[in-house]
Amino acid sequence: SRRDRRMATYQLYRNTTVGQALQQTLNDFQAEDIISRALAERVMATFDKVINKTLNTKAKNKMNFKAEKLRAYRFCDNVWTFVMEKVEFREAITAPKERLKIVACDGSNKTIVATTAVNA
């Protein structure tokens, strides 16, 4: 469904270090009967909304890179995905990376508000 596609995009940052740490903590709390599953799901939904909004409005970092080969790209459900090989970064990361996958989602406030309204 359309809602499921939006939620999949919206949950992109759950696989980050902070997202995984939060999920593990919530799992531990559930295992110890400190919180319910419903509360854990609500916390993760709030995390999704806040991380997306914060990165869209507060993050100002820019990065330049050069890739020897663009292996694959696609645009589906308003999400761009690029897979590149032999990538060199010109900013924070100095060592070349053999392979890089970039997933880019629409971070406009309009999209975040629309997704929030669907989830509410």
Can you give the residue ranges of every domain in the chain? 2-58, 65-107
Tens of pLDDT, residue by residue over 62-112, are: 777 888 898 998 888 777 888 998 888 776 655 666 777 777 766 554 443
Predicted local confidence at residue 106, as pLDDT: 65
* Whole-number Å distance between alpha carbons of 52 and 107: 7
CATH 1.10.287.190 for domain 2-58, yes or no, is yes
Query: What does pTM read for this prediction?
Result: 0.55
Q: Which CATH number fits domain 65-107: 2.30.18.10, 3.20.20.150, 3.40.50.1970, 3.20.20.300?
A: 2.30.18.10
pLDDT at 54: 81
- Alpha carbon 70 to its chain centroid, in Å, reads 21
Q: Tell me the HSE value of 69 on the side-chain side, using a 13 A CA sphere.
A: 6
